[in-house]
Amino acid sequence: MAMLRAVGRVLAVWAVGSATLAVLAWLLPDFRIESPDGDSPTQIAVTAAAGAGAFGVLSALVWPLLVRAVLLVPALVLGASVFFLNGSLLLVALQFTPDGRGDVTPSSAVVIAAVMSFTSSATSTALAVRDDDAYGRRLARLAGRRRRHAGDPPPPTTPGTVFLQLDGLGHDVLRDALTGSPPAMPTVAERLAPTHRLVPWRTDWSSQTGASQLGILHGSNHDVPAFRWFEKETGQVMVCNRPSSAAELERRAVARTGSRGLLAGDGASRGNLFSGGAEQSALVMSVAGRAGTFSRPRSGYFAYFSDPAHAVRTAGSFAAEVCRELRESTAARLRGDRPRIKRLGLYPLVRAFATVVERDVAVAAVVGDVLAGRTAVYADLVGYDEVAHHSGPRSKDARKVLSRLDRSVRLIADATRYAPRPYRIVLLSDHGQSPGDTFEGAFGLHLRDLVRAGCGLEQGEVPTVRRRGGAEARGAARTALRRPEAGRDAEEHACAGPPSEPVVLASGNLGLVTFPDIEGRATLEDIERRSPGLLTALTGHPGIGFVLVRSAERGPLVLGAGGEHELATGRVRGTDPLAVFGQGAAEAVLRADGFPHIADVMVNSAVDPATGAVFAFEEQAGSHGGLGGPQSFPFLLAPTGLPLPEGPLTGAETLHGVFREWLALDSVPVVRAREAEPSPSSTRG
């Protein structure tokens, strides 16, 4: 019976392809499938069937080989070249029509092949929706995977776990998205009580993906003080989303813990900065930074684009997202929204890459991992974080992205029904985002200008590095374009000023000031002898919440406009500058003070305790990287049967320990996805 259904689907797809080919031949003047003297309708139908059949066979047999042959081509170029390769297959296929009746120009062949791929894919999917086995095979093909064959070892009966990281989504924003009417994320809303529970957790001082994900996947984020920092002994800037830096940070974490990571063994890492020790990885930054492994992170693109129909759908969604961004940014300018963030240039393309291409490829890889029965899968979906940086964490733009991410969660949940083992799905985020104006927008100067004034330097003499939002997405796009170290030379050149001058770096609302010519960490006493006005200029500015320095006599000190906090003793003089940042702030700052590569002066912006607004030292409408507001409170949504420790969850390393315990459990029941008919296009935007 299954064989008859499969044959029926093939015939139906062939018929639709033949009809599509005939209609296009009638519509397009430079495409014909009949002789110059004309043919009967029957002959035209036979010719169309021959052309469609040949095209289908070539697509099935030759297309995967072509994609693998061009795997070393930059991924975005590959996404564009699929149309031309597909058109080439059609030109070859028309050679199989009776008596050479097929004739088309190369430009029309590209269009015709794209339309035929789309209609054939849509027909195949529509026919497979009501057939569980067929739909499972469709999902497997979506990820370029094959199901287990006869003779393979039996699949495990213990549950696997899928960790889906919704990058940058804060606990409060998610809670509101789930309780609205209607909810922005209905699939996720269905997973609330009684089957799942939603809890916040608190990040470390460095509230950004590099620190959080390294701690979660490798159990240690020691010595990650920010998203970027200057290391005096090498004279280089470490950047978490730079492949070489990510590889080094992962190496340090493994050396410190003695463990390969959370995903060691039968795990998979998809779209992350770090591998977690997984043998299966795709779109992973640290893997791209290892010698001789550059093509491995990009193998996920082959898994996705090996089906030419995916290129058509993704390209359509990509173009729609670019248009959406242009429309939304224009509306924001007309409304006079603040903060006003530059959203032209390459940003519309970066946004579309993050919210469409990277999402689709990562989700397809996760579906394949589920169908392959892997024990643990960890994937990062960065679309919300990218849009929230430019539009704001609670903007309508960002809310729309959440709705599309919800459909991605639905597709993965549906795929677990066809997996060879039961699965738990755990949703989490790595940090939140805090709203607020930029430091420059609010006060008319950059952090480097303030440092320059405090050091008594003339304008333009202090090197600095400023980055716009969307660092994770930009890094992934550079890797896809085979430019993984793009920006490195410029970044290091910016820090290569005279050694007597400080290096100023920004990581959201966290600033770092380093004196390269002072060996080791500069003390409070060193700084006051060298630049007696610097600390006063910083602490006295209304946009600065506090600075951290180390005194040779008193240890780590947090200084503010109205007082100071001596971290080693807990003694406070005047107004505690950390009080407004909430419980746990002192512990987070004290922990970071012990990092070997912490900056000489750490600068955290001020925060509005009523709104949680901060001042970003980068050009961001929603920012994260330091303390203040919702950025420090991401979420964890997990089945209620999975145990959580008593008290608040604090620090990414704590989550690593919790997740390790969960992976060791084999008796917690798995909540299956509801038995509604799945939507085969549920990841499309």
Going by the DSSP 8-state scheme, the letter that residue 195 receives in this structure is S
User: Residue 343: which of 381, 388, 306, 375 has the closest Cα?
Assistant: 388
- State residue 317's pLDDT score: 81
The confidence score (pLDDT) of residue 157 equals 80
Report the pLDDT averaged over residues 77-95. 54
The pLDDT of 385-394, averaged and rounded, is 93
Residue 491 has pLDDT above 70, yes or no: no
Give a yes or no: residue 260 inside a domain.
no
At position 428, the amino acid (one-letter code) is L
Distance CA 566, CA 573 (A): 8
Lowest mean pLDDT among 71-75, 247-251, 471-475, 536-540: 71-75
Determine the Cα–Cα distance for residues 181 and 510; give it in Å rounded to an integer: 36
pLDDT at position 42, please?
A: 73
Sign (positive or negative) of CA dihedral 338, 339, 342, 343: negative
Q: Cα–Cα distance between 379 and 273 in angstroms, integer?
A: 10
pLDDT value of position 156: 77
Domain boundary residue, one of 115, 130, 145: 130
What pLDDT shows up at residue 316?
Answer: 75
Q: Higher-confidence residue: 311 or 95?
A: 311
Share of the chain above pLDDT 70, in %: 67
Look-up of token digits 């009580």: 193
pLDDT bucket at 224, cuts 50 / 70 / 90: very high
Angle at 453 between CA 451 and CA 457, to 5 degrees: 95
Please provide the distance, in angstroms rounded to a whole number, between the alpha carbons at the two ends of the chain: 36
676 compared with 433, residue with greater pLDDT: 433
Confidence grade of residue 149 (pLDDT, cut at 50, 70, 90): very low
Query: Is the pLDDT score of 574 beyond 50?
Result: yes
**Where a domain ends, among 579, 606, 628?**
628
Structural domain total, the chain:
2
Domain-located, residue 21: yes
Q: With bands split at pLDDT 50, 70 and 90, how would you rate the model's confidence at 13?
A: low
Three-state secondary structure string covering 224-271: CCCCEEEECCCCEEEECCCHHHHHHHHHHHHHHHCCCCCCCEEEEEEC
Indicate whether 172 belongs to any domain.
no
Q: How many CB atoms lie within 10 A of CB 469?
A: 29
Highest mean pLDDT among 66-75, 324-333, 570-579: 570-579
Which residue, 628, 656, 677, sits at the end of a domain? 628
Least confident of 16-30, 285-299, 366-380, 409-423: 285-299
What is residue 518's predicted lDDT score, i.e. its pLDDT? 92
Q: Where are the beta strands (DSSP E) in 468-552?
A: 503-507, 510-514, 544-551
Helix axes 75-93, 471-480, angle to 10 degrees: 40
Does residue 33 contact residue 144 with C-beta atoms inside 8 Å? no
CA 75 to chain centroid, in Å, comes to: 16
* Residues 519-570: tens digit of each pLDDT: 999 999 999 999 999 999 999 999 999 999 999 999 999 999 999 999 999 9
Residues 435, 394 contacting (CB under 8 angstroms): yes
pLDDT above 60 (res 341): yes
Question: For residue 623, is it within any domain?
Answer: yes
Confidence of residue 350 (pLDDT cuts 50, 70, 90): confident
Could you tell me how far CA 529 lies from the centroid of its own chain?
A: 44
**What does the block give as tokens for 354?**
């993050």
Nearest-angstrom CA–CA distance, 41 and 529: 93
> Residue 219 falls within a domain, yes or no?
no
Q: Element (H or E) spanning 563, and its range?
A: strand 563-566
Sign, CA dihedral 176-179-183-187, equals positive
In a domain, residue 333? The reply is: no
Q: Which whole number is the average pLDDT over 40-63?
A: 65
Letter for the amino acid at 527?
I
Average pLDDT across the chain, whole number: 80
Dihedral angle computed from the Cα positions of residues 670, 660, 252 and 213, in that order, rounded to the nearest 10 degrees: 40
**In the prediction, which pLDDT does 679 show?**
37
* Amino acid 135: pLDDT: 41
Q: Which is more confidently placed, 272 or 99?
A: 272
**Long-range contacts for 83-87 (Cβ within 8 Å, ≥24 apart)?**
83/110, 83/113, 83/114, 83/311, 83/312, 83/315, 84/110, 85/308, 86/59, 86/110, 86/113, 86/114, 86/117, 86/308, 86/311, 87/111, 87/112, 87/113, 87/114
Q: Distance between CA atoms of 609 and 586, rounded to whole angstroms?
A: 17
Which pTM does this prediction carry? 0.78
What's the domain range around 116? Answer: 2-130
C-alpha to C-alpha distances, 19 to 6, 7, 35, nearest whole angstrom:
20, 18, 18
Q: Are residues 527 and 601 in contact, defined by beta-carbon separation less than 8 angstroms?
A: yes
Kindly state whether residue 344 falls inside one of the protein's structural domains.
Answer: no
Tokens of 444: 């008319």
Nearest to 204 by CA among 571, 651, 562: 651
User: Which pLDDT belongs to residue 681?
Assistant: 36
Rounded alpha-carbon distances, angstroms, from residue 272 to 55, 294, 654 = 37, 15, 19
Find where tokens 């990650």 sit. Answer: 224
Cis check for the bond before 678: say yes or no (omega within 30 of 0). Answer: no
Residue 357: the pLDDT is 85
> 445's torsion region: left (phi>0), alpha (psi -120 to 50) or beta?
beta
Distance CA 7, CA 339 (A): 58
Assigned domain for 621 exists: yes
Handedness of CA 383, 385, 390, 396 (dihedral sign): positive
Longest dimension (CA), the chain: 99
